[in-house]
């Protein structure tokens, strides 16, 4: 297990081949996928195949990370950074419905921003969500990311883009 980030309640680690069942279940929930544009995996083996081919860590030095509860060691979802189709570093997150409302998205996303700016030396990170996905938009706003523009996000019309740069992050979150 490659641990990347630790917060008060969460451990973020690289996704790996021990995660396909969790990944399959997460991406099988229509409510979880409702605003993503993603299709569900057809089987656990499809999820396993995806994870075996997931090479963002090697290619970019970062990626989406499994979010694990420190208290229960339970897989809660994922959060992290990716280099998107526009060559922008994109913050994303996805959690099981039963874990919505527990602030896991905000906690793990804030830690991902910190890691991106301070450890990876990234200068700017964006976040995108469907306008209709009020919970995800709220997370981006809680992180104090700035509204940037409206657009289409990987085929999802009527998406909002937020962004933050390293200077803004350090001004808002420096101790």
Helix ranges restricted to H, the chain: 20-26, 30-33, 44-53, 56-60, 104-114, 134-142, 166-173
* Boundaries of every domain in the chain: 3-173
Which of 82, 116, 110, 109 is closest to 93 using CA atoms? 109
Nearest to 99 by CA among 14, 32, 15: 32
Domain 3-173 homologous superfamily, CATH: Gcn5-related N-acetyltransferase (GNAT) (3.40.630.30)
In the numeric block, the tokens 């656990």 are attached to: 44
What confidence tens digit (pLDDT) does each residue in 83-135 have?
A: 998 899 999 999 999 999 999 999 999 999 999 999 999 999 999 999 999 99
pLDDT at position 64: 97
Q: Per-residue pLDDT tens for 39-54?
A: 999 999 999 999 999 9
* Helices of type H across 34-133: 44-53, 56-60, 104-114
| Distance of alpha carbon 172 from alpha carbon 125, whole angstroms | 15
The pLDDT score that the predictor gives to residue 174 is 78
Residue from 99, 96, 94 nearest 109 by CA: 94
């Amino acid at each position: 297990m490659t641990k990347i980030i630790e917060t008060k309640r969460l451990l973020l680690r690289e996704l790996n081949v021990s995660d396909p069942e969790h990944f399959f279940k997460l991406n099988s929930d229509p409510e979880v996928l409702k605003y993503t544009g993603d299709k569900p995996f057809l089987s656990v083996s499809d999820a396993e195949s995806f994870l075996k081919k997931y090479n963002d860590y090697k290619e970019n030095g970062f990626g989406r990370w499994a979010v694990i509860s420190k208290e229960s060691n339970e897989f809660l979802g994922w959060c992290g950074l990716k280099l998107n189709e526009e060559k922008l570093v994109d913050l994303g997150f996805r959690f099981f419905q039963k874990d919505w409302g527990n602030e896991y998205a905000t906690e793990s996303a804030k830690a991902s921003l910190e890691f991106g700016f301070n450890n990876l030396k990234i200068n700017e990170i964006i976040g995108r969500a469907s306008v209709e996905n009020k919970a995800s938009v709220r997370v981006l706003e809680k992180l104090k990311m700035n509204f940037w523009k409206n657009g289409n996000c990987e085929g999802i019309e009527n998406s909002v883009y937020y962004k933050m740069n390293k200077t803004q992050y350090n001004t808002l979150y420096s101790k």
